[in-house]
Amino acid sequence: MYSEGIFGAPSPKSGPKVVWRWVLLCMVLGTTGALVICGFLAGLGNYVMRQQNPSLMMEAEFVPEAQVIDSQKIRLCQGKRIYIYDLPRQFNLDILDGYCENEPVICPRFMNSGLGFELHHVMDPIETWYRTDQFSMDILFHERIRKYPCLTEDPDSADLYYAPYYVGWDVLEYLWRPEIQLRDKMMQRFIGWMMAQPSFNRLQGHKHLLVLGRIVWDFDRKEETSRWGNSLLSAPELENVTAVMLERNPSINPEKEMAVPYPTAFHPRSDWELMLWKKKVATSPRNGSLVSLAATPRRDKTKGSVMYYFLRDTLFDQCNKSEVCTVLMCDQINCESNPHLVTSLLLQSTFCLQPPGDSPTRKGVFDCLVAGTIPVFFTPLSAHQQYLWHLPPNGNSYSVLFDEVEVRDNGFDVIAALKEIPASRIERMQRTIVEDILPAVVYDHPDRDPEKKSRDAIDRILDHLFSRDHQTREDKDSANKSNRYMEIPETAVYPMITVGNNSGLGRHHVIVQAAHQAVIIVL
């Protein structure tokens, strides 16, 4: 602050104010002499202002708008630049074209950037519902990343490298055929192409991402004589590559393999559409039935996971005998083609039974969560040990877990046990699902509003990939060589607790719930 000067101007604010009072007085007098004096005083006021605070009169430096935008983008993209490999068409678009030429029934699944056929006015908010194939994640991810704001064309400046190989659709064509060479043919070409890329060799596959639109077992064939899948995940050249898929092998390091949500039918573009759906879910009257089961019976018990199939039989039987359970038979009503029918049922239910299918996970888990319904599991492999990036570590906070063996073999009454859950716990679980889980497991429309704040399933994938500080697994292993222990998430161990006779179940039964404790095991 300036001290009082010779012109009685103690500060940049008060100095000009005093001068301009004299100017105003001169103008009121209106004489020629007064006007001359006014001009002199005006110039003097301007001079005083410049001397006392030059910065007030300094012209602002012109900064082009493009330069401002570039500066903002640099800050936004720091540590988050993605390089997309320009793969030959044979690894993605040609695979889709082949289906459209030879399998016209499958071709519509690729419409609308992988969202599938748009379902008009089946449910509010309109224009957000699609007949999305459960195995379309590789296409959805590619379409979203193509519009990612922090793409780079310079492979040397990238923080993450993405290779858009539609391996899920590639392997599907040969899964049920005996020719192992056909299953591995395109995969081997892809590995050869990647090995020729300088950035891949420089990083030895670290910081590289593959998106596999199916479950791990379709890409994890270990021997030439195995009957199922290709050997992509067993290839030594891809040892350091991170793969995300719909179901992971829990015994594999999550730095290498991670499960991500199955795509559902709901694809919001904006926070407004998401908010409308959350409001509908939160206010939906759950008085249609306490429990629902939307699934296909496994009538052929000679294939697949036989024990899972018998579990389904048990649940169908219990549900059909109960007045508070509703069954939707997906072999009679095509649930995949009519997702709005499944969602309508779930909106009226408090719990949804989620027995494993051909493998522990299933798309119905995420249909259930998007509808705000509490999933009921029968093995921790269905969700708790799978979706570590998208679901809370405490499985008890959003789901119920019963012991598969007790239900299948020992007559445990699932419906009766669900009736005993207190309303306060149900309310807490529903709140967690609607507020925390639902926004995180949906896949936004590829043409989403750039101002959308809520982070969807793909945003969560990128958040976790970037949050690892770009440290390679090799670095982490070296840093932890002396540590022979590993902490297991609290939902990985499920102690038995007894429900007494006063529960109304008629005898002692065993319910499995998540433990609120960490378990240490020796590697």
The 10s digit of each residue's pLDDT in 388-397 is: 999 999 999 9
Three-state DSSP class for residue 212: coil
Cα–Cα distance measured from residue 102 to residue 332, given in angstroms and rounded to the nearest whole number: 27
pLDDT 10s digits, 474-517: 445 444 443 332 333 333 333 332 233 333 333 233 333 333 33
pLDDT 10s digits, 313-369: 999 999 999 999 999 999 898 999 999 999 999 999 999 999 998 899 999 999 999
The pTM of the full predicted model, rounded to 2 decimals, is 0.78
pLDDT 10s digits, 82-137: 999 999 999 999 999 999 999 989 999 999 999 999 998 889 998 999 999 999 99
Every domain of the chain and the residues it spans: 14-57, 77-259, 271-441+482-522
pLDDT surpassing 60 at residue 196: yes
Nearest to 148 by CA among 130, 134, 161: 161
**Confidence tier at 467 by pLDDT (50, 70, 90):** confident
Among 3.30.70.100, 3.40.50.80, 3.40.50.2000, 1.20.58.1290, name the CATH number for the domain at 271-441+482-522: 3.40.50.2000
How does the average pLDDT of the chain come out, rounded? 82
**Confidence tier at 33 by pLDDT (50, 70, 90):** low
Lowest mean pLDDT among 177-186, 201-210, 242-251: 177-186
Cα–Cα distance measured from residue 266 to residue 33, given in angstroms and rounded to the nearest whole number: 79
**pLDDT exceeding 70 applies to what percent of the chain?**
74
Phi/psi-derived region of residue 241, left when phi > 0, alpha when psi is between -120 and 50, beta in every other case? beta
Cα–Cα distance measured from residue 99 to residue 21, given in angstroms and rounded to the nearest whole number: 84
pLDDT 10s digits, 423-432: 999 999 999 9
**pLDDT recorded at residue 321:** 95
**pLDDT recorded at residue 385:** 96
